[in-house]
Amino acid sequence: MSYPANLIRWGLTGLAVVATAAAAQAQQPAAAPTVKLGIVSFLTGPAASPFGIPGRNGAEIVIEALNSGKAPAPFNKTGFGGSKIEAKYVDEAGSAANVVTEFRNLVQRDQMDAVIGYVSSGNCLAVTPIAEELKALTVFYDCGTPRIFEEKARSYVFRVSPHATMDNVAAARYLLAKKKNLTSYSGINQNYAWGQDSWRDFVGAMKVLAPKVTVDKVLFPKLFAGEYGAEVSTLLTSKSQALHTSFYDGDLESFIYQEQARGLDKRMTMIMTTGETAIWRLRDKLPEGTIIGARGANGPLARDTEINRWFQKIYSDRYNTPPTYPAYQMAQSLLGLKLAYEKAQKDNAKPTRDEIATGFKGLEFVGPAGEVKMVLGDGHQGVTETAYGTYHFNQRTKQPEIVDIIRYPAECVNPPPGVEADKWIAEGMKGAKC
């Protein structure tokens, strides 16, 4: 065969292949549009290890499960309403201005359908007005400040995880339930919004529940101070029987190493409102008998349900460590958004942001950490039950345990709808149903 004939033959064959492929493609149904989610969390810096990375890992593992349609009912529809989830992970580190810029990039440049994230309360407060301005559906997963929904009504911002007031009210209730003869306590908290608010709520609740118990030492070392020698001495020379702290990560661990070397935990009971994030790392170094919180019924404080066992398994199998509370908060946030999306969805079409927001408002569902009711902040802020327990390191199994658990219903430790958290505490926690 001549060269031109060969050329024609190969050309025709190529055209036939292309045409066949095009026809085959045309016969397939149109692929469902993906749902683009921005996941923002600390991936670097001191808050990465205790909060940011577990939160990111929680997102990764849940998104994978949802995309493969392997999550348990009612979360077993593939992705969000049949559309696969496409996640973009962004570091929360940097100034608030930088965090806002990154948020704008996610919404305006990357055209994300929703953003889930933020550990720092400062960042949540900075992002909120921008989210409202851009009408960007935003779900905060970890930050605890109650101010987000108390300052102003929100349309596009949601938070499935309860706010921080619950942690300290429940801590006070647990301490008084377990230490009947308490006469005096102290506090050591970081000197910024988180530490100040935590102490304010704890002291407020203690004044309501046990007005005769006195406050002894009030310490506010700077964030990431690292050296706590003087603080430990101050506490050693006090008459306190209990110590409240909302320390986390490096500050919590440094404080524990330094106080253990000097036997402070032998003199007073420690109440660690975020202590659960450290139990798998500190293990037998965490003082026996410490009162442990997990910012809700998360981790070892979560109820033994099918969905909790599922989440614990997929997380532990992938990361070789049990999920801590930031991972739970992320999972709850994703699952809440998924249900809101599917509630808003009509005829398998992609719902608008407004439709999803309407679906999210007042949502109720059960996730790995239990039942969530979006009842505060005009249906934008969730409440859940919470739990506290006492730390015990099991020398036989060589595993941390939280024992002597007391559960508190959401209505017992959260303000009623329409009431600001600090006013609710100051006015005697009226309406609490325990």
Partner 1 sequence: MSGGLTSPLPPTRQVTGSIVLTAFAILTDGLVYAAYLFIVAIGMTLIFGVMKILNVAHGSFYAFGAYGAAMAVGICSNYGLPTAIGFLFMILVAVAIGVVLGIVLERGILRLVYGKDEVIIVLITYAVFLILEDVITLIWGPRSYAAYEPMIAAGNIEIGDLVLSNYDIILVAIAAGLAAFAYWSLKFTRYGRLLTTVIFDRETAAAFGINVTLVYTVTFIIGAMLGALGGAVMAPKISVTLGIGVEVIVLAFAVVAIGGMGSIEGALTGALIVGICRAAAVHLVPQIELFVIYGVMALVLVIRPYGLFVRAQPRKI
- If one asks whether residue 60 binds partner 1 (CB under 8 A), the answer comes out as no
44 contributes a contact to partner 1 by CB under 8 A: yes
**Residues in binding contact with partner 1, number by CB under 8 A:** 66
- Spatial separation of the C-alpha atoms in residues 23 and 30, rounded to whole Å: 13
Segment near partner 1 (CB under 8 A), from 80-88, 132-140, 142-150, 225-233? 225-233
Instruction: Report DSSP letters for 51-103, one per residue.
Output: IIHHHHHHHHHHHHHHHTT-SPTTS-SSTBTTBPEEEEEEE--S-HHHHHHHH
Residue 98 in the binding site for partner 1 (CB under 8 A):
no
Sheet holding 242-245, edge to edge: 214-219, 184-188, 242-245, 269-272, 291-293, 386-394, 399-408
Residue 239 Cβ vs partner 1, minimum distance, rounded to whole Å: 5
Q: Which of 145, 154, 139, 167 is nearest to 59 (CA)?
A: 139
Q: Does 191 bind partner 1 (CB under 8 A)?
A: yes
Burial of 277 (0-12, 13-18, 19+ CB in 10 A): buried
Minimum gap (Å) between residue 265 Cβ and partner 1:
9
Q: In terms of CB distance, is 150 or 216 closer to partner 1?
A: 216
Where b means 16+ CB within 10 Å and e means fewer, 124-134 reads: bbbbbebbbeb
Tell me: does residue 308 bind partner 1 (CB under 8 A).
no
Nearer to partner 1, 72 or 94 (CB): 94
Binding segment for partner 1 among 46-54, 76-84, 363-371, 411-419 (CB under 8 A)? Answer: 46-54
- Which is closer to partner 1, CB of 112 or CB of 291? 291
| 399 binding partner 1? (CB under 8 A) | no
Which parts of 230-249 interact with partner 1 (CB under 8 A)? 230-231, 233-234, 236-239, 241-242, 249
Q: Does 43 bind partner 1 (CB under 8 A)?
A: yes
Q: How many CB atoms lie within 10 A of CB 150?
A: 18
Start-to-end CA span in the chain (Å): 92
Dist. CA 339–CA 44, nearest whole Å: 31
Asked if 324 is part of the footprint of partner 1 (rule: CB under 8 A), the reply reads no
Token readout for 62 is 């849940």
Residue with tokens 């929100």: 154
For partner 1, the closer CB: 195 or 351 = 195
Per-residue binding string, partner 1, 268-307, x by CB under 8 A, is xx-----------xx--x---x------------------
As a whole number of Å, the CA-based R_g of the chain is: 25
Interface stretch with partner 1, choices 20-28, 135-143, 176-184, 363-371 (CB under 8 A) = 176-184
Whether 181 and 212 have beta carbons less than 8 Å apart is answered as no
Residues forming contacts to partner 1 in the complex (CB under 8 A) are 43-46, 48-50, 52-53, 178-184, 191, 217-222, 224-227, 229-231, 233-234, 236-239, 241-242, 249-254, 257-258, 260-264, 266-269, 281-282, 285, 289, 390, 392, 403-407
